[in-house]
């Protein structure tokens, strides 16, 4: 049992380091896209919910006054702290119950986090609550196919790859959540990302029997997913 737990810990550590390496590989592209899509003024107090190893927080930091980044994973936060500039603060917090006052931020971001949470509506409500009136929100996530059966199959694969995966939402469901929280869509963009199966499994630390199961459920050895970018105003 001790050896099994040790192996699991090593796999998780390797996965987090791969995520850090991937953050570095994609940093320039993400920084450029954030700067263009969000167009920050430079004086914002920003929040990054579900920061992971800090990809969005670190990319946004040069263009705002302050970034507060939160995640439930202590290990990922520690990795993010290694590279964080002075204007980034990293805290452990639950996306469904943020420890901040109403209207505490000018800009709230949530990138590739919603599909890891069972109660996505609570995350969107919390993002809206902590954003000041007139402030903006950035929501980025992989989109579910419009075909319900295809969406179920994709969720099965994603959950086999990463047990923290809950459910992908289609564009229509996301828009309904935005509208329910009084959020006005400023702009949107769709990005199609090509994925290579083995590398995608590696990033999640998917190994052993879980890897075999995920490979059996995968849409292919190479496939493309659709990611939605939404900029909203409170």
Sign of CA dihedral 66, 71, 77, 80: negative
Q: CA 48 to CA 108: how far, in whole Å?
A: 6
Question: How much is the pLDDT for 9?
Answer: 58
Whole-structure pTM value: 0.93
Q: Which CATH number fits domain 2-144+165-192+225-233: 3.50.50.60, 3.10.110.10, 3.40.50.620, 3.40.50.150?
A: 3.40.50.150
* Domain residue extents for the chain: 2-144+165-192+225-233
Sign of CA dihedral 166, 91, 37, 204: negative
> Helix/strand/coil (H, E, C) string of 34-58?
HHHHHCCCCCCEEEEECCCCCHHHH
The rounded mean pLDDT for the chain is 94
CB 108 within 8 A of CB 132: no
Question: How much is the pLDDT for 6?
Answer: 45
pLDDT(22) > 90: no
CA distances to 46, 135, 169, 175, 230 from 184, rounded to whole Å, are 18, 11, 19, 10, 10
Q: CA 12 to CA 123: how far, in whole Å?
A: 25
Task: Show the beta-strand stretches assigned E in the chain.
Answer: 45-49, 66-71, 88-92, 105-111, 131-142, 184-196, 222-233
Is residue 65 very low, low, confident or very high in pLDDT (cuts 50, 70, 90)? very high
- Looking at the chain, the whole-number percentage of residues with pLDDT higher than 70 is 96
Residue with tokens 């986090």: 113
- Looking at the chain, the whole-number percentage of residues with pLDDT higher than 90 is 90
* DSSP annotation of 84: -
Structure-token pair, residue 227: 């990611």
Q: Looking at residues 85-106, what average pLDDT do you find?
A: 98
């Amino acid at each position: 049992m001790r050896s099994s737990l040790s192996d699991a810990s090593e796999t998780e550590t390797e996965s987090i380091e791969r995520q850090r390496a991937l953050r570095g590989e994609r940093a320039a592209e993400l920084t450029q896209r954030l700067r263009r899509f969000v167009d920050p003024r430079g004086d914002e107090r920003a929040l990054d919910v579900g920061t992971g190893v800090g990809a969005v927080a670190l990319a946004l930091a040069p263009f705002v006054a302050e970034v507060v980044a939160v995640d439930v994973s202590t290990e990922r936060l520690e990795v993010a702290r290694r590279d964080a500039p002075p204007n980034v603060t990293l805290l452990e917090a639950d996306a469904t119950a943020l420890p901040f006052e109403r209207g505490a931020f000018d800009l709230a971001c949530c990138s590739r986090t919603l599909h890891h949470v069972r109660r996505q509506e609570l995350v969107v409500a919390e993002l809206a609550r902590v954003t000041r009136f007139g402030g903006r929100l950035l929501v980025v996530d992989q989109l579910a196919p419009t075909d319900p059966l295809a969406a179920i199959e994709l969720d099965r694969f994603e959950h086999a790859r990463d047990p923290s995966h809950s459910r992908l939402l289609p564009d229509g469901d996301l828009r309904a959540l935005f509208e329910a929280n009084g959020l006005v869509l400023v702009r949107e963009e769709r990005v199609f990302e090509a994925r290579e199966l083995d590398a995608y499994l590696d990033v999640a630390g998917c190994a052993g029997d879980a890897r075999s199961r995920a490979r059996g459920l995968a849409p292919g050895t190479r496939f493309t997913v659709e990611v939605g970018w939404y900029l909203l105003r409170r």
